[in-house]
Amino acid sequence: MGNRYLDWFRQAEADLRHARHALDTGSFEWSCFAAQQAAEKALKAVFQKSSMDAWGHTLTALIGNLPPSAHPPDRLIERAKMLDKHYIPARYPNGFESGAPTDFYTEQEARNAIEYAEEIINFCRDQIM
């Protein structure tokens, strides 16, 4: 099977569009999760482009294991850490002592998550294009 890094990257861009749409409709938890997914898929595109395997969903681990030629700036590592916090609690009520994720996520968190994902996607675009 051929290298599918462009498929991964296109899906990252689609997930980012979904994050924006969820923000516009007030689904802030889904916006945060979709932003995390967008960043994850963009990072996995870089691994695919380098013919490397990438496992897991933790952005901090993924970004830390990029090939040396794709070493990210420290700012992106911080962005990845922020997005990692949205992987589980944004989707599951047991991420909080009580209430549903929709009760806790804010518009500002969604805007920040989208911004952070955009930065990671832009970095990844530079690595693969």
Rounded average pLDDT per 10-residue block, the chain, 129 residues: 86 98 98 98 94 90 89 94 96 92 97 98 95
DSSP class of residue 98 equals: S
C-alpha distances (whole Å) from 95 to each of 37, 67, 82, 85, 109 are 18, 33, 16, 10, 16
The DSSP line for 47-80 is HHHTT----SS-HHHHHHTS-GGGPPPHHHHHHH
Pairwise CA distance, residues 121 & 10, whole Å: 10
C-alpha distances (whole Å) from 77 to each of 33, 34, 58, 98 are 18, 18, 11, 31
* pLDDT value at residue 51: 85
* pLDDT value at residue 2: 57
Fold adopted by 5-128: Four Helix Bundle (Hemerythrin (Met), subunit A) (1.20.120)
Q: What are the residue ranges spanned by the domains of the chain?
A: 5-128
* pLDDT value at residue 126: 96
* pLDDT value at residue 55: 86
* pLDDT value at residue 1: 47
Pairwise CA distance, residues 64 & 80, whole Å: 10
